[in-house]
Structure 1
Amino acid sequence: MGYEWLALASASLWAIAALISVKPARHLGPFAYSRWRMFLVSLMLGSISLLTGGWQTLSGSALPLLALSGLIGIFIGDTALYACMNRLGPRRSGLLFSCHALFSALLGLWIFNEQLTGSRLTGALLVFTGVMLAILFGRRSSGSEWERIRGSLAIGVALGLTAALCQSLGAIIAKPVMMSGNIEAASASGVRMVSALLAHCALRLTGLPLTRPFRPINRQIFGMIAINGFLAMALGMTLILLALRHGDVGMVAILSSTTPVILLPLLWWHSGERPSAAAWCGTLLATLGTVLVLGASGH
């Protein structure tokens, strides 16, 4: 499977996980939710690494970079994303988070001298434009619980852009490690996850009020966190690392940012509210752009 398909598969998993995450993130709060999710995913990835022997592929030189990638991309990035989602809802937080594609493309051009030319450039621009349209005009005005803004809009926007920047920085830091081709992806994801979990636990020990759960966890919330973590992080983030091994940072980021487009029909199914015509136009543009990228890559 080409890296483009891996990035698109990851985007699809993130879209499904986004629907599952809204309730538990608002029940526990962003910090407690992130801690539980990272704990469960660390167990999943650790078990996979032990069963497959993937931990033996981890080198001493790779560990610091993977740990730093996890601290920036997961500890800071994921926590900021769910704080943004709690304030602005999944649609608006998706818009802001999809900016990681632009950040990653610019960083990839600057650091790795990556190039986007010809039909790949045209396709990438169509994907980015389509994603923006799909999110900006994704739903009609309504009194939907998921559309309501809680608290300061400016703080919500800042949190979303912080999450996007941290996601792109985390990918940039992990790429040289994954390019070596010697490290098993699930084990690399596990190192990133454990480093983020340890940072969250250390922060919790400080006793800061914002790290406390809003409400106690229950069986239903626990199950939703486990399913979300498995889809978004155990599978989704591992697929992204595999994609980074073979593909450009910018292109992987652009294709994985199609999550908001994939989320459109899922939101329609969940809420019964049909997205606007502009949103469907965005979806068509993103689909056309993806076809151009995949065709130009020969996959």
Structure 2
Amino acid sequence: MLAPFDLLALGAAACWAVGSIMSVTPARHLGAFAFSRWRMLMVAVMLWSVSLLSGGWRSLDNEIWGVMAISGLIGIFVGDTALFAAMNRLGPRRAGVLFATHAVFSALLGIWLLNEHMSPQAAWGAALTVIGVMAAIVLGRRKEEQHAWESDQGSVGTGVVLGLVAALCQALGSLIAKPMMGPAVDPVSASALRVTVACLAHFCLLWAGFQASKAHNPLTPRIAVQTGVNGFIAMGVGMTMILTALQKGDVGMVAILSSVSPVLVLPLLWWRLRRAPAAGAWVGSGLTVVGTALILLR
């Protein structure tokens, strides 16, 4: 039976897919740390404005502040920064397949620590979804592809490690936030808190003189607009959808459905690069569709 949190998780995947494509240019222009810092600052202002106007901030008690702060440090400060560092080295396609492993991490951690369970049909759907996502991205590149987004920018090994770190942090961030996301908690305010803590951590690095946190290039008006729009879609809307989904859904199931984001990137890359993905991408996408259907109809 289709549940509302299923649609929210898929909506978050769509937001992340659009955000990943939009982030390539500003992330490479500013560098992973500076891009994440500016994006989080802009999103924090957006979310707190909504929270103050709606009064949602009143739903955050002292315990929620502490837990969401830890969730934000792990899931956003470390996770998002590692993801964009991986993307800068590997491009959106290969970084996407590594980040998609957060579904596996989330499912296993949810079963282990939160006693979550899946029906046999949902388990088969989850397996097909993860396999399909991996196949679609791994086999999605044409041999003759020479676009800059597919080129290596630095150490490939470092990029792989960063992508896996991002996936694990995403899973841990959701796992930590899940127990606090009761029906009375405002997801927008919870998102604002997570983003603000991560943003402050970034500024602490900058003020401490951490070299990697400095911008590679100045923030131009065009890059600022791209960063702000990206933040609104991927973090403001996408992350709030995830926290809303966690109010009713299991961590593992929400993560698996949101992990289809890299498959949704394929048509966007087709539009952006003016070249259709390779045949293997369509096979993987087909498996993902079947797997997702099994989960939604469980």
Q: What TM-score does the superposition give when structure 1 sets the normalisation length?
A: 0.97
Q: Distance in 2 between matches of 1:249 and 1:210?
A: 33
Q: Distance in 2 between matches of 1:156 and 1:122?
A: 30
Aligned equivalent of 1:58: 60
Q: Distance in 1 between matches of 2:225 and 2:140?
A: 29
Q: Distance in 2 between matches of 1:278 and 1:213?
A: 38
Match of 2:142 among 132, 140, 143: 140
Aligned equivalent of 2:152: 149
Aligned equivalent of 1:22: 24
Aligned equivalent of 2:112: 110
Deviation at 1:151, TM superposition (A): 1.2
Deviation at 1:292, TM superposition (A): 1.1
- Residue 286 of structure 1 pairs with residue 288 of structure 2: yes
Deviations 1:181-201 (A, max 9, x none): 211000000000000011011
Q: How does 1:219-298 map to 2 (within 5 A)?
A: 219-296=221-298
Deviations 1:60-79 (A, max 9, x none): 11110000000000000000
Output the aligned Cα RMSD: 0.8
Aligned equivalent of 1:120: 122
Deviations 1:187-228 (A, max 9, x none): 000000000011011110111211110000101000000100
Q: Distance in 2 between matches of 1:208 and 1:286?
A: 41
Tell me the secondary structure at the aligned position of residue 246 of structure 1. Answer: coil
- Residue 174 of structure 1 pairs with residue 207 of structure 2: no
Amino acid at match of 2:233: L
Deviations 1:263-288 (A, max 9, x none): 11110011011111111011111111
Deviations 1:43-67 (A, max 9, x none): 0000000010000111111110000
Amino acid at match of 2:275: E
Q: Distance in 1 between matches of 2:141 and 2:268?
A: 12
Aligned equivalent of 1:162: 165
- Residue 72 of structure 1 pairs with residue 74 of structure 2: yes
Deviation at 1:15, TM superposition (A): 0.5
Q: Distance in 1 between matches of 2:224 and 2:64?
A: 32
Deviant stretches of 4+, over 3 Å = none
- Which sections of structure 1, spanning at least 5 residues, go unmatched? none
Deviation at 1:135, TM superposition (A): 0.8
Please tell me whether the aligned partners of residues 139 and 274 of structure 1 are also in contact (alpha carbons under 8 angstroms). no
Aligned equivalent of 1:200: 202
Q: What TM-score does the superposition give when structure 2 sets the normalisation length?
A: 0.98
- Which sections of structure 2, spanning at least 5 residues, go unmatched? none
Aligned equivalent of 1:91: 93
Tell me the secondary structure at the aligned position of residue 252 of structure 1. Answer: helix
Q: Distance in 2 between matches of 1:14 and 1:151?
A: 24
Identity of aligned pairs, percent? 52
Q: Distance in 2 between matches of 1:118 and 1:160?
A: 30
Q: Distance in 2 between matches of 1:181 and 1:258?
A: 26
Match of 2:46 among 27, 34, 44: 44
Amino acid at match of 1:56: R
Q: Number of paired residues? A: 295
Amino acid at match of 2:177: A
Deviations 1:124-154 (A, max 9, x none): 1111111011110112121110000111111
Tell me the secondary structure at the aligned position of residue 181 of structure 1. Answer: coil
Q: Distance in 1 between matches of 2:89 and 2:174?
A: 26
Greater shift, 166-175 or 110-119, is seen at 110-119
Deviation at 1:117, TM superposition (A): 2.1
